[in-house]
Amino acid sequence: MSADARPLTVPDLLAMKAAGRRIVMLTCYDAAFARLLEQADVDVLLVGDSLNQVLAGHETTLSATLDQMIYHGASVRRGARRSLVFVDLPFLTYQISVAEAIRNAGRVLQESGAHGVKLEGGRPMAETVRALVDRGIPVIGHLGLTPQSVHALGGYRVQGRDERTADRLLADAHALEEAGACAIVLELLPSALARRISAALTIPTIGIGAGAGCDGQVLVLHDMLGLNEGFNPKFLKRYAGLGEAVRTAVRSYAAEVRDGRYPGPEHSFE
């Protein structure tokens, strides 16, 4: 993305699908990475509640808080001037009532400067999506493996393998589109089903573990950079091995500190 490129807008996502241009999305949790990802032409930065696992070390996303998401959303927004920034609504901040969803999503936009929010669920969430969109809050949906429902789903596993579930997910996708969602994340679906859903919608789909038939792709940044070395699902491709790079750099630093080579005269003030 060139320095003089105009900022992306939410309607650009629909235009990108219509033009057949694949959408590039990555998770992002801070300003430093936001600047780097924007310079590398990432279209959408997702402040995912995955930060509860990646940064905070929890086993699931369920204990992420609204204040936590707003803090990281604001950090990302300060580092991103042209990429779109969407923030996950954490568990129980939008499921209790439509009014509470409006209040919490409004806080996200007001306090973080993000362009929109992402929430999980299909037809049961359509009314909430419509209420948010009607109030000027862009919404990305999320179907398939929905991490906030990990216990109900029986773990992190592929969804939609049987015809009944596949038909339900397609109906869910239509319901989200009709409610005004601007895009839908499809997570851990058979590639044929994800392709079928993508072809049936006018809004873009963003896949993670859902094959190449989606209109874009998203990965967790720390996973694809090799910083989360214990996570090795089939769908993940590592584009760097930064975990080892970090260890090597820190070992060098520690050795130089211990033997007195750092700081040298060139790093000191007279």
7 closest CA partner among 48, 40, 38, 47: 38
Res 4: pLDDT: 58
> What whole-number distance in Å separates Cα of residue 100 and Cα of residue 92?
9
| Whole-structure pTM value | 0.96
- Is 187 one of the annotated active-site residues of the chain? yes
**Looking at 100, 111, 187, 256, which residue is catalytic?**
187
Q: Do the bridges between strand 116-118 and strand 84-88 make them parallel or antiparallel, or are there none, so unpaired?
A: parallel
CB 94, CB 82: distance < 8 Å: no
Domains in the chain (CATH in brackets) are 10-239 (3.20.20.60), 242-270 (no CATH)
C-alpha pair distances (Å), 212 with each of 32, 206, 235: 30, 10, 11
User: What tens digit of pLDDT does each residue of 242-260 get?
Assistant: 999 999 999 999 999 999 9
Give the integer Cα–Cα distance in Å for 172 and 100.
22
* pLDDT tens, the chain, 270 aa long: 555 589 999 999 999 999 999 999 999 999 999 999 999 999 999 999 999 999 999 999 999 999 999 999 999 999 999 999 999 999 999 999 999 999 999 999 999 999 999 999 999 999 999 999 999 999 999 999 999 999 999 999 999 999 999 999 999 999 999 999 999 999 999 999 999 999 999 999 999 999 999 999 999 999 999 999 999 999 999 999 999 999 999 999 999 999 999 999 999 998
Q: Tens of pLDDT along 133-157?
A: 999 999 999 999 999 999 999 999 9
